[in-house]
Amino acid sequence: MKETGITRNVIQIISRHSNWKSKSIKQQLVDRKIYADKSDWAKFIDLTLIGTGAGFSLAGIIFFLAYNWHLMHRFLKLGLIQGLVIAIVIVLLSFKLKPLVKDVLLLSASVLVGAMFSVFGQIYQTGADAYDFFLGWTVFITIWALVSNFPVLWLLFISLINITFILFVSQVGPNWPSSTTYMVLFMVNALVLLGIQWLFQKKVIDHLPIWFSRSLALSVAIYITIGLMECIFEQGSDAWPIFFALAILNYGFDIYRSFKTRSLFSLCVIPFSIIIIVCALVFEKIDIDYKAKFFLLSILVIVSITFLMRWLIKLNKTWNGAN
């Protein structure tokens, strides 16, 4: 895989249409570095032994602490974790480390803050899923998430915002219909995505991995899909025209961007989301018996997906025509 051009797939296809001998195929798999060689194995063993060795030792220590947990005083429990957080931050600030090591350390400190709050909740009996626990966690890692250039930490931060909001609404929030909750979630995530893409364009952020913006875009599409379905099935939801308009605005903008950047991702996700919403609409609003409904839906899905795929394949060919 390290050498360009000849992949495992290519070797499979060539051997499929020829009488290529197995010995020579094996030789190619080795020569093309698809199979690991001696130096790869040496690196792998080194990395695995260090990684698993350190991991298992650490797990052993954690298990040991867990075994003695009930004997420890509450100050010791909290102090242990807080001490770890402080130690990590001191290491971060006082040593010259590789950027990746720094990022991972900051991420572990952020996770430990969560662990600290859960211990706090355990000691003072506030419950492990109280929304204020997640709110505290979110607030106290905000600065780290903002100054770090590490998308994994951003994702943790955004997930925490989502979880905090969902728990807040279900535990103490106003008595909203669930579609309103989804609308707020969709807007928050869409705004974060827009903001980050804008910062990237203005070169404030130097790298924006594709998986990060895609997982955010996917979460937005999922919130829109579930939220609009809730609007359809829920009785007495008044907010649907606003939700609908915002969803159209968001999808329209996304589709425009996809054409501009020649990316197929949103063009796969958005139409699929629309198909699901239309199915829900047909199911709820058209007044025919269930047999006819299911038949109509199956035909609708298969036909629309088939046409959608034909269109996407054609688009893919025009965009990547050089290949």
- Site residues for another protein, window 131-150 (CB under 8 A)? none
Does residue 209 bind another protein (CB under 8 A)? no
For the chain, state the CA radius of gyration: 26
64 vs 74: CA distance, rounded Å? 17
Q: Determine the interface stretch with another protein among 26-34, 123-131, 182-190, 196-204 (rule: CB under 8 A).
A: 26-34
Distances (CA, A) of 161 to 72, 132, 261, 303: 32, 12, 29, 39
Residue 154 Cβ vs another protein, minimum distance, rounded to whole Å: 22
CB 150 within 8 A of CB 107: yes
The interface with another protein within residues 275-294 (CB under 8 A) comprises: 275-276, 279, 290-291, 294
Per-residue tokens: 187: 């807007």
Contact between residue 101 and residue 109 where contact means Cβ atoms under 8 Å apart: no
Nearest alpha-carbon partner for 229 in 244, 216, 209, 217:
244
Binding of another protein by 95 (CB under 8 A): no
Contact 90, 105 (CB under 8 A): no
Q: Which is nearer to another protein, 246 or 282 (CB)?
A: 282
Least separation in angstroms between CB 240 and another protein: 23
When asked if residue 233 is in the footprint of another protein (CB under 8 A), the reply is: no
Query: d(Cα 255, Cα 305) in Å, to the nearest integer?
Result: 18
Q: Which is nearer to another protein, 190 or 267 (CB)?
A: 267
Q: Does 55 bind another protein (CB under 8 A)?
A: yes
Closest by Cα among 142, 140, 137 to 163: 137
Q: Does 20 bind another protein (CB under 8 A)?
A: yes
Output 16 or 73, the one with its CB closest to another protein: 16
- 228, containing H or E segment: helix 210-233
Out of 58, 139, 191, 245, point to the residue binding another protein (CB under 8 A): 58
297 interacts with another protein by CB under 8 A: yes
> Which listed range, 110-118, 142-150, 184-192, 267-275, lies at the site for another protein (CB under 8 A)?
267-275
Binding segment for another protein (CB under 8 A), chosen from 73-81, 177-185, 195-203, 264-272, is 264-272
Which helix (DSSP H) or strand (DSSP E) does residue 22 occupy? helix 22-31
Check if the beta carbon of residue 109 is closer than 8 Å to that of residue 144: yes
**Residues whose CB is less than 8 angstroms from the CB of residue 30 and which lie 6 or more positions away in sequence, other chains included:** 37
Q: Does 16 bind another protein (CB under 8 A)?
A: yes
Under rule CB under 8 A, residue 52 binds another protein: yes
Which range binds another protein by CB under 8 A, 39-47, 107-115, 204-212, 216-224? 39-47
Q: Least distance from C-beta 108 to another protein, angstroms?
A: 15
C-alpha 241/C-alpha 253 separation (Å) is 18
Size of the residue set binding another protein (CB under 8 A): 84
Alpha carbon separation from 108 to 15, 51, 59, 282 (Å, rounded): 47, 15, 15, 48
**What track of x and - describes contact with another protein for positions 304 through 323 (by CB under 8 A)?**
-xxxxxx-xx--xx--x-xx
18: contact with another protein by CB under 8 A: yes
Indicate which single residue of 92, 264, 278, 281 sits in contact with another protein (rule: CB under 8 A). 264
Whose Cβ is closer to another protein: residue 171's or residue 306's?
A: 306
